[in-house]
Amino acid sequence: MRIAVTGSSGLIGTHLVAALRTDGHDVLRLVRRTPRTADEHRWDPHHQRVDPTLLADVDAVVNLAGTPIRPRPFTSSYKESLRRSRLDSTTTVSRAFADAATAEPGRRRVLLSASAVGYYGDTGDRTVTESAPSGQDFLARLCAEWEAATAPAEAAGIRVAHLRTGLVVGRGAMLVTILGLVFRAGLGGRMGSGRQYWPWIGLEDEIAAIRFLLDADVSGPVNLTGPDPVTNAEFVRRLAHVLHRPAVLPVPGPAIALALGEFGRSSVLAGQRAVPAALQEAGFTWTHRDLDSALRTALGRG
């Protein structure tokens, strides 16, 4: 296949491009800076501009572009950056891909567009599949808008799947890097009550699931999570076990909310017991079905 990837310089994008090339696909990368290699092509999602011929012979687009969500307060300017980067990128690539599909009808095309389990908001201990409604906090509304921005591609008959990714557990992942430093220093513990669910996925399975969805007859929302979501308390207990460190210093919820504001309340102290029903029904096979396996690989512990 000829596959275009946006957001290819991030953790997921970097590993995905390498895997796609290993699979024998022809990969082109859409970048906002001046291209440095033959596989890079410049586009301007901020002004919704892309070469109309660029996607003419492309079979699939994997859209991962967007300002990274960092553990920091959600100021109004940061919120707007998160929102605009996602909506501009998704709208631009969806319209361009739709134009290509209209010009050459009958060709099978697929758009895999990033989203997140934050779509559901805080769901407590209720298990949620892809059919669950969206939440009401900022991240939930952002995910809903993000997914809606693929409408031009869907209207053109392109198969569209929304990649509702959970917390990625892998070498170099922000979550693993930060918590690894804290726990290695012996300062780790549950966050808030610890009862909030953290739907995780191993980096290897994140990449494998995207590759799987290029060919699988699946459209609509797809939870990219492991089959066994755990609470925050269980997550940190297993992390401490893998690192052979204690987990006895809980961080009070009010302190997290004070330091991180809305981000802390919606992304650290809240959670989703999200399960990957769509992937399971499609026959996807996980490398890391349990959290211990994913953590050991991410932390280089065998």
Q: Which residues contact residue 111 at a Cβ distance below 8 angstroms, ignoring those fewer than 6 apart?
A: 60, 61, 63, 93, 94, 97, 150, 153, 158, 159, 160, 161
Q: Which of 231, 246, 233 is nearest to 184 (CA)?
A: 246
Q: How many domains does the chain have?
A: 1
Q: Which of 140, 291, 126, 105 is nearest to 221 (CA)?
A: 140
CA distance 235 to 166: 14
Burial 211-244 (b: 16+ CB within 10 A, else e): bbbbebebbebbbbbbbebbbbbbbbbbbbebbe
Q: Which residue type sits at 302? A: G
Query: For position 120, which CATH number holds?
Result: 3.40.50.720
pTM of the model: 0.95
Please write the tens of the pLDDT for every residue from 76-104. 999 999 999 999 999 999 999 999 999 99
Q: Which of 75, 74, 67 is nearest to 114 (CA)?
A: 67
Please write the tens of the pLDDT for every residue from 22-67. 999 999 999 999 999 999 999 999 999 999 899 999 999 999 999 9
Q: How many residues does the chain have?
A: 302
- Per-residue pLDDT in tens (0 to 9) along the chain, 302 residues: 999 999 999 999 999 999 999 999 999 999 999 999 999 999 999 999 999 899 999 999 999 999 999 999 999 999 999 999 999 999 999 999 999 999 998 899 999 999 999 999 999 999 999 999 999 999 999 999 999 999 999 999 999 999 999 999 999 999 999 999 999 988 899 999 999 999 999 999 999 999 999 999 999 999 999 999 999 999 999 999 999 999 889 999 999 999 999 999 999 999 999 999 999 999 999 999 999 999 999 999 86
Helices 11-22 and 203-215, axial angle in degrees (round to 10) = 50
- Which residue range forms the structural domain that includes residue 117? 2-298
CA distance 248 to 251: 10
